[in-house]
Structure 1
Amino acid sequence: MTVHRYETDELDPFRRGEAIGHAFAGEIIANIEGYRELFRAVRVDEAGLPALGETALAHIDRWAPDLGAELHGSAKGAGIPLWQIGMLNARTEILATVKAIGEGECSTSVILPEDGPPRTIQTWDWHDVSNENTLVVRYPTRDGRTVRYFTEFGILGKIGLNDAGIGVHFNILNHASDGEGIGVPVHAVARAVLDGASTLAEAVAIAQSADVSASTVLTIVSYADGKADAAQVELSSGGHATLQAPEDGFLLHTNHFLDRRLAAGELSPTESSTFPRLEHLQARRALLAAIDPVDRVAGLLVHQADGAPICCHPDPALSFENRWQSLITIALDLERSRLEFHEGGPCTVRRESWQVF
């Protein structure tokens, strides 16, 4: 996988989206075709995709008009129908309509030291053949923030930070109530936090305001006046919950609910890797607390053979919709407002492969 870079000073969301769509039209179209193939494999009714995409875009237009304007611009720049850009951004919500639950997915660690910025890191796991190229973007908001984020082509956001000291890590969850229609896409929620929040309280409020139809957890970190803080906002159709940072300052998350009320509707099977992955993260806290993010990666070096695929490799014997791979290893540097990442899973990280954006 190659992570492409795009930096702009464009303040107008439509023009910014149009420029991104024009610059990366081929990659966006390839991502659309990849997701249509995935939807066919998990038996999403392809005839219904235009309506689902249009509904998702309408929700974004109402809930976050600037983000909606950016998507309208992206569609124009890439020369694609609006419903297709809506479909891309609702890929999680569309998968939820058929209860498509993946065995792979992300593992996130945040450590809050007594002094200094949060020490964060996560893997992003997804289907190994669906994302040959991804994107990091830097742009200014109309309110004067500078945002940097990582995402898939054509999708509003995923993992990122702003220069007001707010950052977001992102893990998919699965709740029994999910999949009834299409709500505000969770990827739009992650991006809206970065665009709109200057404090942890503002970030939580933005996330909690979204009426979603698929589940996710945003691990939101903040750093202001030398003080690190964080909270985990679990979102689902069955309700939202905010988990405050514990006294020991360790916030870990994989792909199941930690809030007791929401956990009652947990859809991930008990044999899922999400549960042992969390246990392995808990056992490796000392490694995950390293100041240097490259040293922090050692806390993620757990494979299936070790009992949990935190560092996930695809099984070539499986069909592509059942194959998973750790595609990026990424950390947030809130002190210097930058993303740090490696193109690949933790076991291939080398100091010379670690990139800064």
Structure 2
Amino acid sequence: MPATQLSRITLRGTPREIGLAHGENLKPQILRQLHIYKSMFEYTSRLSWSQVLKVAAEFQSTIQKLTPEIHTEMMGIAEGAGVQALEIVALNCRSEIALGKFSDGCTSLSWRKHDHARVLAQNWDWTASVGENLAMVSIEQSGKPTIYMVTEAGIVGKIGFNSAAVGTCLNAIRARPMDPSKLPIHVALRLCLESPSVADAVKTLQDLGGVASAQHILIADSTSALGLELSPVGNKYLPENPSGLIGHTNHFLENRYVDEPPWLSDSPIRLWRLNELTGELIASGVHGDDIVPALLRRKVFSDTFNAPQAIACQEDESRHEIIRSSTLFNIVMDLDRGNPRAEISLGRPGSDDEGPIMTMPW
């Protein structure tokens, strides 16, 4: 992905107005996303686009029933972009429809600075072709915190934080089963980003019946953090360790409710390396206000141990081009209740392709 600035769009109003503006502002990116995922579903899952849309129709019924406002927003995105409604639903359910066969590997970290501040950070690794379709989006809705997130065009919830200092990161998990009567993970992320606290987010997901596929959401606010190892057949919640850390990659640590065959051999290695690097920082005296974005990018998220499948992920040329992952961006969120903010860098931290630092809010 070339080093460049991400599109920045501000969405506000009713769910339909938010969706329309999303679709209209990001129409070229949405069209490219649809082209990419059509090819990806065909290659990874042997699903034609008509078969994908058939599964999406099952999810549409669920989304409309459980989260009608988000469904209305998706319909607005489709109208604004001039595409079929089910195509936008398919983008938002892409993790579920692929049954874990998309190999987007990521490394995420939550670190307690003080009793009233956390840092939440992630390298997001995915196929390079998606990079030009990412956008920084803010969403202003009546009666809800303002959302600031980095998302794929057409997708309603992703990685970011809100004005109440609640933030989310995502680690893909490959496991069965999948249940289209439950919430797709990107809708679950949106609900977390609409929540005033970690506790409220967890309660909302539980009250709505849980999620459709096995995934990990690392969620934090200024006073707490949890690793949500979610699945349609049961959840496990990971607390902060005694050092105030939660680290996660692309395999479950405690959730044994699902059928999870080994898939990314580097996932345990990245987690071990993440724990080693943060342990070294703690041993060197790093704590509190020392935990800043530049330090994490330089000392943790730029790490190339076990390259190319490292924390700073490089393309593995042994894989088919359409599913070759590399780190597309790093985000470090400072979840201070009085002033939540984030820094985003494009490309692999510490490499020649690392782009400029951007901030949210902007």
Q: Same fold (TM over 0.5)?
A: yes
The answer to whether the 8 A contact 2:307-2:314 is kept is no
Which stretch has the larger CA shift, 159-168 or 139-148? Answer: 139-148
Distance in 2 between residues matched to 1:352 and 1:158, nearest whole Å? 21
The alignment's C-alpha RMSD in Å is 2.3
Which residue identity lines up with residue 242 of structure 1 in the other structure? Y
Moved more, 166-175 or 50-59: 50-59
What's the CA shift string for 1:270-319, capped at 9, x where partnerless?
x6111111000010114486422111112123225469511111133531
CA distance in 2, matches of 1:17, 1:89: 13
The CA deviation at 1:144 is 4.0
Equivalent-residue separation in structure 1 for 2:271 and 2:19 (angstroms)? 37
Does the CA contact (< 8 Å) of 1:342 and 1:353 recur in 2?
yes
Q: 2:266 aligns with which of 266, 273, 283?
A: 273
Amino acid at match of 1:283: E
Shift of 1:78: 0.6
1:75 — aligned with what? 78
1:13 paired with 2:12, answer no
What are the equivalent positions in structure 2 for 1:18-167 lying under 5 Å apart? 18-42=20-44, 43-96=46-99, 99-100=100-101, 102=103, 104-167=104-167
Q: Is the 8 A contact 2:346 2:355 kept in 1?
A: no
- Whether the aligned pair in 2 keeps the contact of 1:56 and 1:89 (CA below 8 Å) is no
- How high is the sequence identity, in percent, across the aligned residues? 26
The aligned runs of 1:158-197 (5 Å cut-off) are: 158-178=158-178, 181=180, 183-195=182-194, 197=195
Letter of the structure 2 residue corresponding to residue 325 of structure 1:
S
Query: Are the equivalent residues in 2 in contact too, given 1:332–1:340 (CA < 8 A)?
Result: yes
Q: CA deviation at 1:13?
A: 1.0
Deviation per residue, 1:11-60 (Å, 9 max, x gap): 20111110110111111011011100101111124331221222222222
Structure 1 residues 150 and 242, CA, compared in 2 at 3 Å: closer, same or farther? same
Residue matched to 2:327: 326
Counterpart Cα distance in 2 of 1:7 and 1:171: 26
Q: CA deviation at 1:193?
A: 1.1
Greater mean alpha carbon deviation, residues 112-121 or residues 154-163: 112-121
Unaligned runs of 5+ in 2: none
- Residue type of the alignment partner of 2:246: L
Counterpart CA distance in 1 for 2:306 and 2:165 is 38
**1:218 equivalent in structure 2:** 217
Change (3 A) 1:23 1:274: same
Q: TM-score, normalised by structure 1?
A: 0.89
TM-score by length of 2: 0.88
Q: Give the match for residue 198 of structure 1.
A: 196
> How many angstroms apart in 1 are the aligned matches of 2:102 and 2:53?
22
Change (3 A) 1:19 1:308: closer
SS of equivalent to 1:122: strand
How many Å apart are 1:326 and its aligned residue? Answer: 0.5
Shift of 1:190: 0.4
Do residues 249 (structure 1) and 244 (structure 2) align? yes
2:228 aligns to what? Answer: 233
Q: 1:283 aligns with which of 266, 276, 286?
A: 276
Note if contact 1:151-1:158 (Cα within 8 Å) is conserved in structure 2: yes
- Whether the aligned pair in 1 keeps the contact of 2:112 and 2:119 (CA below 8 Å) is yes
Distance 1:160 1:92 in 2: 18
Aligned to 1:135, what secondary structure does the other structure show? strand
In 1, the alpha carbon distance for the partners of 2:163 and 2:219 equals 14
**Structure 1 stretches lacking a partner, 5+ long:** none
Cα deviations by residue, 1:158-212 (Å, 9 ceiling, x for unpaired): 111111121111111122323x5564210110011111x1122111112334443
Change in Cα spacing, 1:107 to 1:7, as seen in structure 2 (3 Å) is same
C-alpha displacement of 1:115: 4.2
Instruction: Classify the secondary structure of the residue corresponding to 1:118.
Output: strand
Query: SS at the partner of 1:334?
Result: strand
In the aligned structure 2, how far is the partner of 1:145 from the partner of 1:349? 37
